[in-house]
Amino acid sequence: MAIAVSCCKLEMRLMLARLGGHLAIVEALKLTKPLQTMMLLVGMYAGFYAGGGIVKPLWFHILIGLLGFLAIAATTAVNMVYDVDIDSIMERTRNRPLPRGVFSRQRVLILATITIVLTAITSCILVNVYYAAAIVIGYLSDIYAYTLLTKRHTWLSVFAGSIAGASPAVGGYAAARGYVDVDGLLIGALIVAWIPAHIWSLVIHYDEDYRRARIPMLPVIKGYRVGVVGSTLSIVLTVAIATAIYVRGLMSPEFYIAGVAAGSAAVLMLLRRCRPGSCIKTFRVVNMVLMLFLLGAVLSSIL
């Protein structure tokens, strides 16, 4: 193991040296899908603060953020390794580092896998077993249940992806509480409910890309109108779960109201404007819905 790590580190240094300092950092960050990683980290901290993490020492806040980032980034990098053939076909993704051959897929896979293992072990020792379990569940559901087993075969893959997306939030809650209860599951359910709208609205916009890559997402195999209906139901369910979280005192009223307003706008945009090639604005509003609710959960324990 030690020899493999050393070899991979040496190869990575050589690749980074060839790329040049700043450019190499930018390309490496692209392997983590920065915006997606940021949203997942916000979800993790939403769970952490909803669980009472505000009373934890500053070093602990930083620790779970670092461990969470490493786990999410490494999982995302592994996902990119297995999806490189798809990414090379789709116009939206063909300029990512791996399709362009910037990094070696084998070495990225090895380094990312080692990072996941070490992060899970460190989390178990320094945080708790539930936080470590969330990392492992997130990895397994994203890489195996979603990427390898279902994404290329069924539109139901979105639900496997939803579990992966909710894992950081549930893990953050467990890091604060030391266990997972109804409130922690509600924070996770908020993300599970929202992810179908997030994915399907993007799929509708890039309909040709997904058809070209033969990815059987719901709007592709059933038509964009079915995708719009599914996305609408996803937003309605997200707002309903956010309401339950608000009633339980885990969300600030200002951000709850703003999230409901954004959710209403998202539903209207889905029904009136979301069509193949013209759904990106709706996709952004859908993302805003979750971000507002998550920030509401973060700020409710701070303010």
| pLDDT surpassing 50 at residue 272 | yes
Secondary structure in 3-state letters for 102-127: CCCHHHHHHHHHHHHHHHHHHHHHHC
14 or 296, greater pLDDT: 296
Ranges assigned E (strand) in the chain? none
Q: What is the pLDDT of residue 21?
A: 58
Share of the chain above pLDDT 70, in %: 92
Average of pLDDT values for 247-266? 97
Write the pLDDT tens digit of every residue in 83-93. 999 999 999 99
Write the pLDDT tens digit of every residue in 181-206. 999 999 999 999 999 999 999 999 99
What distances in angstroms separate CA 135 from CA 187, 207, 240, one per listed residue? 16, 32, 27
Q: How confident is the model at residue 99 (pLDDT cuts 50, 70, 90)?
A: very high
Q: Are 119 and 136 in contact (CB under 8 A)?
A: no
Could you tell me which residues come within 8 angstroms of residue 180 by beta carbon, excluding any fewer than 6 positions away? 130, 170, 173, 174
Share of the chain above pLDDT 90, in %: 88
Residue written as token pair 């996305």: 231
Q: What is the pLDDT of residue 157?
A: 96
Write the pLDDT tens digit of every residue in 278-294. 999 999 999 999 999 99
Q: Are 234 and 194 in contact (CB under 8 A)?
A: yes
Q: Are 195 and 158 in contact (CB under 8 A)?
A: yes
Q: How confident is the model at residue 5 (pLDDT cuts 50, 70, 90)?
A: very low
| pLDDT surpassing 60 at residue 11 | no
Q: How confident is the model at residue 154 (pLDDT cuts 50, 70, 90)?
A: very high
| pLDDT surpassing 50 at residue 64 | yes
Average of pLDDT values for 7-29? 63
Residue written as token pair 């993704």: 93
Select the CATH number that applies to the domain covering 31-300 from these four: 3.20.20, 2.60.40, 1.10.1070, 1.10.600.
1.10.600
Q: What is the pLDDT of residue 27?
A: 87
